[in-house]
Amino acid sequence: MSRRVRRKVAKKGNEKVVLPSFPEIEDEVSCSNSNEAVDWTSLPDDSVIQLFSYLNYRDRASLSSTCSTWRALGSSSCLWTSLDLHAHKCDAAMATSLASRCVNLQKLRFRGAESADAIIHLQARNLREISGDYCRKITDATLSVIVARHELLESLQLGPDFCERISSDAIRAIAFCCPKLRKLRLSGIRDVSADAINALAKHCPNLIDIGFLDCLNVDEVALGNIVSVCYLSVAGTSNMKWGVISTLSHKLPKLIGLDVSRTNIEPTAVSSLLSSSHSLKVLCALNCSALEADATFRPNKYKGKLLIALFTDLFKGLASLFADTTNSKKGENVFLDWRNSKTKDKNFDDIMTWLEWILSHTLLRTAESNPQGLDDFWLKQGAAILLSLMQSSQEDVQERAATGLATFVVIDDENASIDCGRAEAVMRDGGIRLLLDLAKSWREGLQSEAAKAIANLSVNANVAKAVAEEGGINILTGLARSMNRLVAEEAAGGLWNLSVGEEHKGVIADAGGVKALVDLIFKWSSGGDGVLERAAGALANLAADDKCSMEVALAGGVHALVMLACNCKFEGVQEQAARALANLAAHGDSNTNNAAVGQEAGALEALVQLTRSPHEGVRQEAAGALWNLSFDDRNREAIAAAGGVEALVALAQSCSNASPGLQERAAGALWGLSVSEANSIAIGREGGVAPLIALARSEAEDVHETAAGALWNLAFNPGNALRIVEEGGVPALVHLCSSSVSKMARFMAALALAYMFDGRMDEFALIGTLTESTSKSVSLDGARRMALKHIETFVLTFSDQQTFAVAAASSAPAALAQVTERVRIQEAGHLRCSGAEIGRFIAMLRNPSSILKACAAFALLQFTIPGGRHAMHHASLMQNAGATRVVRAAAAAATAPLEAKIFARIVLRNLEHHQIEPSI
């Protein structure tokens, strides 16, 4: 009977309220026009049972607890002929609780050794099919007990991962206990002996489908004794004697399909098999290097036989071979044509069903190994085959195809790099819509694999856009709320990758994604490292957006992320939690998250502790978070109180050979802390000067800026200034001042040198020489001359004699504006100086050194340019310090250099712009 989904509407007052959709039998009467709310407990029994059939066992149990009627209906035997546990963890207790419902259970899927051990507790004596994956730890004993309790078994599949602990003894047990066996597929057995195979031949007369995949040794001669076999796969199995295999056609009169993919089969063996067997119709030899290396091999000469290899066209081959049966269009719709065909042929259906299974297995294995030289195959055929397999009626084929799509696009796991050509091939062939449809399936295993594929493909910006346009963000957000951890984990991964795009952040927030991600952290706070890393990573991306960062905080994200930083020991989670906190604190005055993070109990202590992590990524993100948090005055002092000075100095000392990202953040965090004079002094005493000088010599522009900024702050204190000289910091700052690509780094290096040699350090050095016997011997005069020379050179790089001459001769605002645009350092507008620092520059205007006067005027100009983030603040500080008179004097001084006069005049104009009253 055909089915459709109807939407029921209940009226509430004058409004219509849309109730949740649910499937109904087509000829049931719609109550959409009823004025009464729907009474779910009054639904017909067949509707309730149909509803239950679309739910996993957990949700069935939840609905069954609603009332006694639904409890009885939820136990209906028709709902329990098939049980899919592979997306869930099933132990003995859970299996026992399900046992009363499983009397008539015929088909079972499970995952892992624990679930395998629990199978016998289901008491399902009528089981016909068992399929398990993640079976690496299943032993002979477990498998023997399973088959002994289920002698009616017709199908047993374990894989695709290796069953390393299963031996030929278990295969003999299968043969003795399951005489009705028709299908046996096992992966990764070390040795499949002649005794085991002969036992199957003797005791399982109906065995028509055998798969010994990825095995180490299989007795080829014994395989010829299973005369009932129609479909045989030895894909990935090594140490095969192909001369023996090629003679199997004489011993296996019913052999229709043979799969030798991912083996070292030679062209001569392939030719022998195709030419000598009358029954063989399909030989699958995908990714067989010896066969592919023979350029002279011609598969087309074997009429009526289909060879599937990297160099053949699968779709055309199938279409030509079975055209009369399927009425195929001889294109890439051959699988779809077969599924939709009204003319059914059992033999052909069996071949196509087997082909779907072995292709999904081989393509997944090939994608996992990612061999070189397959780009052309993936682009021309592989992607299309996987997409076609995703539409199979076989659940495990669908899932493996989705996993294959998730896997074959990835070329670098560590750096999350994907092949854009492969990703866009999936998109062009309609794969995004297919994957999203699968993600909406009620089957949780399929949900997780589809979500994984969407997540990986969405690393490509074009695919991410297509996912968003197709409604994928709402689908992934819904899956992130799943009670199944695997589903939630993959959905969070999809949101993580999609949230990289700025255009998707707001959409994710509007879809409720922020709340869903925060809830995930609380739901899986223990025992879910994968889901926690993905959720924290997505929140980190979203927190980089000002509006979304506020939503993260409102949803409880600060507490959730701090909880991870404090308690989680997995470095991936720690890194993403620290990055998220860094981004939450990065918005400065635009929101209150910076202060909120600092006020969260344990946050600063946890971040300080993470700077000592053995993992560089964790150290980098923790230092970045502390850097951003240090912009808040209270946070700055709290970080220091939590041991931040010592930890960050130690980090800077250890990262001379680290990545530029870690170096930048280590220096940046010290820069932020050193805004406080007390912290600045503490950094100097802890030995922070030397590592910052070393970082100032880095080749990375970003590191130049943070190291120069930290040294500038430190140099404000005369004791630190002397340490910088003693540690060889003057040549390093001179190099930055003259050679850095970054204007900001050059500017701050010049300011640090100006602080050091404005006279205050000389007094401290004299006192230090008299009181400290350990003071290093340095030539302050030589260092001073070097510093002043390069300060002057730096200032002059912003000078243009013609422009300055015009400005000097004219009082017109346009002339000064022209100079301002020439000398403006855009990033300098983000610097925020204290009253003491502004006072020091004002005092420097009176310094006898014309170079320091020009430097001070240049600095004040940068700090007061209209439009600068802190320009008004600096102008107010200057007014409070009575700076106008000093600046006016500097602008009119006869002996001052031209640059100093022009810069001073621009500062006066800036003060007027900020409506600062002149002080006479």
Pairing of strands 257-259, 155-158: unpaired
Whether the CB-CB separation of 133 and 157 falls below 8 Å is answered with no
Q: How many CB atoms lie within 10 A of CB 381?
A: 18
Of 512, 557, 566, 511, the closest CA to residue 537 belongs to 557
Query: Counting beta carbons within 10 angstroms of the beta carbon of residue 114, is it exposed (0 to 12), middle (13 to 18) or buried (19 or more)?
Result: middle
Whether the CB-CB separation of 84 and 445 falls below 8 Å is answered with yes
Token duo for residue 115: 């679930």
Which position has the token pair 């679309």? 54
pLDDT for position 521: 96
CA distance 724 to 761: 11
pLDDT for position 29: 35
Burial code (b: 16+ CB inside 10 Å, e: under 16) for 149-176 equals: bbeebbbbbbbbebbebbbbebbbbbbb
Strand segments, DSSP code E, in 797-836 are: none
Topology (CATH) of 313-456:
Leucine-rich Repeat Variant (1.25.10)
pLDDT for position 916: 52
Domains of the chain, residue spans: 45-77, 313-456, 799-919
CA distance 140 to 144: 6
CA distance 891 to 320: 91
Residues in the chain, pLDDT under 50: 1-35, 325-330, 769-775, 917-920
pLDDT for position 845: 93
DSSP state of 104: T
CA distance 808 to 656: 47
What 3-state DSSP class applies to 3? strand
Which position has the token pair 């002094």? 681
Whether the CB-CB separation of 736 and 793 falls below 8 Å is answered with no
H or E stretch including 623? helix 616-629
CA distance 359 to 159: 14
pLDDT for position 8: 32
pLDDT for position 684: 95
